[in-house]
Amino acid sequence: MLTAIVGINWGDEGKGRMVDLLSSDYEIICRYQGGNNAGHTVINDKGKFVLNLLPSGILRETTVNIMGNGMVIDLEHLVGEMKALTDRGIKITPDNLKISDKAIICMPYHKMQDIMEEERLADKKFGSTRRGIAPVYADKYMKKGLRMEDLLHLDSIEEKVHDIVEWKNITVTGYGHEPVDPAAMMEWLRKFGSVLAPFVTDVSSYLYSAVEENKNIMFEAQLGALRDIDFGIYPYTSSSQTLAAFAPIGAGIPGVPLNSTIGIMKAYSTCVGEGPFTAEMFGEEAEKLRAAGGEYGAATGRPRRVGPFDIPASRYGVKVQGATCIALTKLDVLSYLDEIPVCVAYEVDGVKTTVFPTGERLNRAKPVIEYKKGFGDVSNCRTYDSLPDAAKEYIRYLEEAVQCPIRYVSVGAGRDEYIELA
**Alpha-carbon distances, residue 233 vs 9, 69, 225, 239, 322 (angstroms):** 11, 25, 9, 12, 18
Phi, then psi, of 119 in degrees rounded to 5: -70, -35
Q: How far apart are CA 332 and CA 335, in angstroms?
A: 5
**Second CATH level (architecture) for the domain 265-420:** Alpha-Beta Complex (3.90)
One-letter-per-residue 3-state SS of 336-354: HCCEEEEEEEEEECCEEEC
The pLDDT score that the predictor gives to residue 364 is 96
- Would you call 177 a catalytic residue per the annotation? no
The pLDDT score that the predictor gives to residue 405 is 97
Phi, then psi, of 127 in degrees rounded to 5: 90, 35
Per-residue model confidence as pLDDT tens digits over 45-84: 778 888 899 998 898 889 999 999 999 999 999 999 999 9
Q: How far apart are CA 154 and CA 186, in angstroms?
A: 8
The pLDDT score that the predictor gives to residue 395 is 98
> 104-197 domain in CATH 3.20.20.210?
no
The pLDDT score that the predictor gives to residue 237 is 92
Quick check: 68 and 31 in contact, CB under 8 A?
yes
The pLDDT score that the predictor gives to residue 108 is 96
Query: What is the radius of gyration, based on Cα positions, of the chain?
Result: 22
The pLDDT score that the predictor gives to residue 42 is 77
The pLDDT score that the predictor gives to residue 330 is 96
**Alpha-carbon distances, residue 171 vs 113, 162, 176, 192, 253 (angstroms):** 8, 15, 9, 25, 35
Q: How far apart are CA 60 and CA 330, in angstroms?
A: 23
**Alpha-carbon distances, residue 244 vs 3, 55, 97, 127, 211 (angstroms):** 9, 16, 22, 24, 17
Task: Tell me which CATH homologous superfamily contains domain 2-102+200-262.
Answer: Adenylosuccinate Synthetase, subunit A, domain 1 (3.40.440.10)
Q: Within 10 Å of residue 396's Cβ, how many Cβ atoms?
A: 12
Per-residue model confidence as pLDDT tens digits over 196-245: 999 999 999 999 999 999 999 999 998 999 999 999 999 999 999 999 99
**Side chain identity at 195, as an amino acid letter?**
V
CB-based burial of residue 350 (10 Å sphere; 0-12 exposed, 13-18 middle, 19+ buried)? Answer: exposed
The pLDDT score that the predictor gives to residue 131 is 84
- Would you call 338 a catalytic residue per the annotation? no
The catalytic position among 20, 40, 110, 332 is: 40
Domain boundaries of the chain, sorted by first residue: 2-102+200-262, 104-197, 265-420
Question: Which positions of the chain have pLDDT values less than 50?
Answer: none
The pLDDT score that the predictor gives to residue 50 is 86
Quick check: 38 and 73 in contact, CB under 8 A?
no
Quick check: 274 and 235 in contact, CB under 8 A?
no
Per-residue model confidence as pLDDT tens digits over 369-404: 999 999 999 999 999 999 999 999 999 999 999 999
